[in-house]
Amino acid sequence: MSLGIYIQVPFCQTKCTYCNFHTGVVSPARFAPYASAVQTEIREHRQRLAAAGIALPESFAALTADTVYFGGGTPSLLDPAHLAAILETMRTTFRPAFLEVTLEADPETVEPSKAEAWSRAGINRVSFGVQSFSDVELTAAGRIHRRADVYRAVPILRSAGISNISFDLIAGLPHQTAETWQNSLDELIQLGPEHVSVYLLEVDEDSRLGSELLRGGAKYSASAVPSDDVMVEFYDLARVQLRRAGFEQYEISNFAKPGFASRHNRKYWCREPYLGFGAGAHSFSGTQRWANAHDAAAYVQTIASGSIPVGDLENISAKQALDEELFLGLRQLEGIDLSRLERQYGTLLESRFARLQAAGLIERSGPVVRLVAERLSISNEAFVELMR
């Protein structure tokens, strides 16, 4: 068992129309105080969490921290010196053996001097929100970068020695067609990232585009969003073509060249412990989950006042833990070992899976159950059925 560390950087240059994250567009003058607050939170997390009623298990002190993930927001907006200082604080606070240090980046923020500084600081993986190779789709979605920025950024990262690059693509952006989706897949495969995440456009009230879609409006190019069926076709096409190009699908949304599955994200799906720092960051100790409050300005103030802005503290019951194991386990294509769970949780699970098997949603090999690869696009049905 090892520890993952997550740093939330909730700042962006603009707000993408489909974005449902708690991020804000703020003056760059606020970046340095934020980075400094994150360092304080890291250094003093144990005492401050204890004061907030969260006692980290004794075993935590002995855990090696082997993954770090700067997520957002757009953490690549921070001065590289701030990122380096945060990493240095982690090295002196935890037992570091950083195997994977990821920085989420927008392609247009990449410059040679920055990439070299990232690499020197120990960042060895960059995850790009590419989303599409169509400038029409990128413009409609409110993204700042354009297709050409991706082509410019990748060689800069490679020259700086960053050999693990991940691209995100979104199926379902406004104006996306079978032709532009195919083109995005072709260009992505040609650029040769080590890792790819493919997401379906999320439609909910928390994004401008989502709420417009729910109201049946046309703002934000909502009327040019492909239908759900088409999105599913795009996703299935991506699965097939990425596999053909040498990527292994290891999770519903994630594909990797051999040896490049995300170590950090695997911790979330395998219920391994992680500590999150920064506004809105989530943490999991094995028995408790909690999250910092979202407001970045309030976060900096709370840290300055000697406290910690913890909210949403939840003690995980055995039933919840088992539900999480099932839900998170099924997301992974290697599946779930039912015999392990039955032993660990002292309960029989066969009957819960019988309906799914009868519906052709899962397949079995011995004690291992997994979602049927060809039915992954309807995995929500399986999750709903399983949790009944």
CA 375 to CA 361: how far, in whole Å? 6
Q: Is 15 among the residues that bind ligand SF4 (CB under 6 A)?
A: yes
Q: Which residue is nearest to ligand SF4 (CB)?
A: 19
Piece of the chain touching ligand SF4 by CB under 6 A; list 19-27, 213-221, 247-255, 322-330: 19-27
Piece of the chain touching ligand SF4 by CB under 6 A; list 59-67, 70-78, 157-165, 246-254: 70-78
Piece of the chain touching ligand SF4 by CB under 6 A; list 13-21, 56-64, 344-352, 360-368: 13-21
Q: Is 74 among the residues that bind ligand SF4 (CB under 6 A)?
A: yes
- For ligand SF4, the closer of residues 16 and 261 by Cβ is 16
With beta carbons less than 8 A apart as the criterion, state whether 149 and 107 touch. Answer: yes
CA 197 to CA 362: how far, in whole Å? 22
Give min distance, CB of 116 to ligand SF4, in A.
23
- For ligand SF4, the closer of residues 98 and 128 by Cβ is 128
With beta carbons less than 8 A apart as the criterion, state whether 250 and 371 touch. Answer: no
Give min distance, CB of 204 to ligand SF4, in A.
13
Beta bridge partners of 70: 7, 103
Q: Count other Cβ atoms within 10 Å, centred on residue 1.
A: 12
Q: State the maximum Cα–Cα separation within the chain, in Å, rounded to a whole number.
A: 58
Structure tokens at 361: 């949603």
Mask 122-161, x = binds ligand SF4 (CB under 6 A)?
-------x--------------------------------
What end-to-end distance do the CA atoms of the chain give, in Å?
A: 31
- For ligand SF4, the closer of residues 4 and 280 by Cβ is 280
Piece of the chain touching ligand SF4 by CB under 6 A; list 28-36, 44-52, 68-76, 252-260: 68-76
- The DSSP-derived string for 274-307 is EEEESTT-EEE-SSEEEEE-S-HHHHHHHHHTT-
Structure tokens at 202: 């999320």
Of residues 3, 5, 9, 19, which one binds ligand SF4 by CB under 6 A? 19
Instruction: Compute the CA torsion angle 70, 74, 76, 81 (nearest 10 deg).
Output: -70
Binding site for ligand SF4 (CB under 6 A): 12, 15-16, 19, 21, 23, 72-74, 129
